Structure 1
Amino acid sequence: MSARLLTELSGPEVTRRVTSDTIVVQPTGAVEHHGPHLPLITDFLLADHIGGAAVDRAAEEGLDVWRLPTLAFTKSDEHSWAPGTVWLDESTMFDTVVQVGRAVALMGAGSLVFANGHGGNVALLQVALREIRKRYGLKTFLMPTLARTPGPSGEDADERGLGIHGGAAETSMILHLRPDLVDMTKAERWVPDHLAEFERIRFNGGPVSFGWLSNDFGTPGVVGDASRATVDYGRALWDVSLDEAVASLHEIARFDPAVRRPAVGTVTAPASVTR
């Protein structure tokens, strides 16, 4: 358990310890289908473990940062066809995270960070960042909990940029965190290779995005190559993901969107001109 779990404080302790310099981290996971080889709580585990560890390390390094319990049920309707998925519709999820922002603002904190382990939450959380900022004045941020890094033996090399759900990365990370929940005898390559032929229509980073459900691709709800997962790759992903999350929290702590202007009466030297 995280040593910085805000809900383990008493009410008076919150009043005493939370200030406008405090960063509150809300991990967001999911309970959803991840194929025959991974548990429903895959994304929850990513958000909970990495988010909690990042908060603990950042606090040890001097940041005023606390975490809330991880949200389990989020926007997973792309997997609603599969038994076991538990999801909120977009309006319920949006209202939930905005009201979390309201509570964090009432505590007196200055910043709220969503540490997200589920890709289906990203678009909605990006909208919520601005809504919470507008309503409650918090500085708001969204960061991923799972970073990307090449595997020690190139385990992710054959996913063709399509390893987005239940593939080498997620499977390897759960092998590292909870190997008892992974059945590698059922892990196979489920990559929709024909999608790699499109230059503009992509899952991530392309100029054209598209709506999809996880049963659109002729796979068992998986997009990636789970057969390439290894514990070593999971350990490497853990190290990189934790380092990235902690570095993000340090940058969040010093972030100020306002333009810095010289004080009234201060004379600034003109910039040098090169001729």
Structure 2
Amino acid sequence: MSGGSRRLADLRAPEVLDRLTPSSVLLQPVGAIEQHGPHLPLSTDLLIADALAEALVDERGDELDLWLLPPLAYTKSNEHAWAPGTIWLSSQTMLSVLDDLGRCVATLPTKRLAFLNGHGGNTALLAVANRELRVAHGLMTFLLHPSQPRDSGGATEDDDELGMGVHAGRDETSIVLHLRPELVDMSLATRSVPEAMAARERVKFGGDVAFGWSSDDLAANGVIGDPTLASAERGARLWKGIKRSVGDALAEVAAFEFPR
């Protein structure tokens, strides 16, 4: 980075108005602290979102005028509330937190706020917050994911997990093996794919009909996917593609304007 730190919290108060401009993009990583089966750390979603945000700000911050906000760790994770170690906010609390965040961000020179969300359970609430913050505080708000969650309509690369790899499965495990291998215990990884659900046409992850669920409805160990297929090499390939894809998306965010 040629211009010094692009982490907002590293700035001294007088620098905020000097260094941020109307074209700046505030990047807010959003993670979770929740069970990820017996083989992955509770911090998986936080780790991925924060590492990606840091990498993008380091690599493209000067080009796109990106500014990194401290990550949100505790979010909407009550689908994993049954598991010890999961720490979650209610929907009402999280929306209030996001509104407070928006109210503060609206005092800055820029009005561009991009959420980089690493946890699928946050997606619906962040989509609601996008509009609420736009209407209440005049912000230009955006929601990005390292990859679109399968349970929110994202595509699946192949059929190894029957399209049901939504939590602690092959790809998520591969990425953590790439980023923080010391936090993964592959000796505890087991396949846990809800194959009966995959056979349905509409009521399934990625189907036309959404449904409420808790992770223990689908698997006793909290895994929904097949982490035994994971590898650090796969994680490195995925990470390279994710950085390129999200970086290109942020380029459009930085240039976005409403038609009028």
Which TM-score applies when normalising by structure 2?
Answer: 0.93
Is the partner of 1:164 in helix, strand or coil? coil
Question: Which residue in the other structure is 2:44 paired with?
Answer: 42
Larger radius of gyration: 1
Separation of aligned partners in 2, 1:239 and 1:165: 21
Question: Which residue in the other structure is 2:216 paired with?
Answer: 215
Separation of aligned partners in 2, 1:156 and 1:232: 17
Aligned-residue offset at 1:110? 1.9
Q: Does the Cα contact within 8 Å between 1:57 and 1:246 map onto a contact in 2?
A: no
Aligned-residue offset at 1:103? 1.1
Aligned-residue offset at 1:157? 4.0
Aligned-residue offset at 1:120? 0.3
AA in 2 matched with 1:161? G
Separation of aligned partners in 2, 1:138 and 1:31: 27
Q: Does the Cα contact within 8 Å between 1:146 and 1:237 map onto a contact in 2?
A: no
Q: Does 1:160 find its partner at 2:172? A: no
Q: Does the Cα contact within 8 Å between 1:63 and 1:253 map onto a contact in 2?
A: yes
Separation of aligned partners in 2, 1:37 and 1:99: 35
Instruction: Give the alignment partner of residue 10 of structure 2, picking from 3, 8, 11.
Output: 8
Separation of aligned partners in 1, 2:200 and 2:158: 20
Separation of aligned partners in 1, 2:186 and 2:104: 42
Aligned-residue offset at 1:218? 3.3
| Alignment map for 1:92-107 (pairs within 5 Å) | 92-107=93-108
The percentage of counterpart residues that share the same residue type is 48
Question: Which residue in the other structure is 1:247 paired with?
Answer: 248
Is the partner of 2:64 in helix, strand or coil? coil
AA in 2 matched with 1:254? A
Aligned-residue offset at 1:156? 6.1
Separation of aligned partners in 1, 2:219 and 2:16: 50
Which TM-score applies when normalising by structure 1?
Answer: 0.88
Aligned-residue offset at 1:147? 6.3
Is the partner of 1:160 in helix, strand or coil? coil
AA in 1 matched with 2:223? V
Q: Give CA-to-partner distance per residue, 1:43-96, whole Å, 9 cap, x none.
A: 000110011111222224x11110101111000000000000000111111111
Q: Does the Cα contact within 8 Å between 1:147 and 1:241 map onto a contact in 2?
A: no
Question: Which residue in the other structure is 2:122 paired with?
Answer: 121
AA in 1 matched with 2:119? H
Equivalenced residues, count: 251
Separation of aligned partners in 1, 2:34 and 2:203: 25
AA in 2 matched with 1:69? P
AA in 2 matched with 1:125? L
Q: Does the Cα contact within 8 Å between 1:214 and 1:221 map onto a contact in 2?
A: yes
AA in 2 matched with 1:130? R
| Alignment map for 1:130-169 (pairs within 5 Å) | 130-146=131-147, 157-169=159-171
Question: Which residue in the other structure is 2:77 paired with?
Answer: 76
Is the partner of 1:106 in helix, strand or coil? coil
Is the partner of 1:114 in helix, strand or coil? strand
Is the partner of 1:25 in helix, strand or coil? strand
Q: Does the Cα contact within 8 Å between 1:172 and 1:234 map onto a contact in 2?
A: yes
Alignment CA distance shift 1:5-1:197 (3 Å): same
Gaps (5+ residues) in structure 2? 150-156
AA in 2 matched with 1:165? H
Q: Give CA-to-partner distance per residue, 1:119-148, whole Å, 9 cap, x none.
A: 000000000000100011110000002469
Question: Which residue in the other structure is 1:175 paired with?
Answer: 177
Which one has a larger percent helix, Structure 1 or Structure 2? 2
Q: Does 1:56 find its partner at 2:58? A: yes
Q: Does the Cα contact within 8 Å between 1:46 and 1:146 map onto a contact in 2?
A: no
Question: Which residue in the other structure is 2:89 paired with?
Answer: 88
Between 30-39 and 103-112, report the one with greater CA deviation. 103-112
